[in-house]
Amino acid sequence: MDERDRYDKGMVVRRGVLGEAHVERTVSRKNAFNEEFQDLITRYAWGEIWTRPGLPLHTRSLLTIAMMVALNRADEFKLHVRAAFNNGVSRDEINEVLLQCAIYFVLPAANTSFHLAEEVFSVMNT
């Protein structure tokens, strides 16, 4: 696939997932400063990754929501929650993803911290 095909396929998926209105707003705001970045997003995020056959769009939406939680990216999180409905994701599924995030983005770090603290304590002989 050449870069033009990747862009065109990416734009189709981008419009389908994010919605025509959102993409049109983004396109209307393109300028000399951000044009290359918008092209990059369309070709690689949407044209390369979101078009891959390995995962359905439904799953990609759920994964993206989880990643936005992990990265604490509120604007992108809200964008992808809205977009998830275009991919057949339900409120209940989003709820489950958020509950999964609540546990697995915090508890593993706490678990490791307990183990690390115990290592320090053992060296200190306390």
**Nearest alpha-carbon partner for 4 in 63, 47, 45:** 47
pLDDT for the residue numbered 36: 97
State mean pLDDT over 22-42: 97
Q: How far apart are CA 14 and CA 43, in angstroms?
A: 10
The pLDDT tens digits for 45-82 are: 999 999 999 999 999 999 999 999 999 999 999 999 99
Place of tokens 């390369």: 48
Terminal Cα-to-Cα distance of the chain (whole angstroms): 63
Q: How many CA atoms lie within 13 A of 32 on its CB side?
A: 0
Mean pLDDT of 105-122: 94
Residue 126 confidence (pLDDT) above 70: no
pTM greater than 0.75: yes
Phi then psi for residue 114, to 5 deg, are -60, -45
Q: What is the pLDDT of residue 63?
A: 98
Residues 30/38, Cβ–Cβ less than 8 Å: yes
- Cβ(73)–Cβ(31) under 8 Å? no
For residues 3-32, average pLDDT: 96
Question: Which pLDDT score, from 0 to 100, does residue 121 have?
Answer: 94
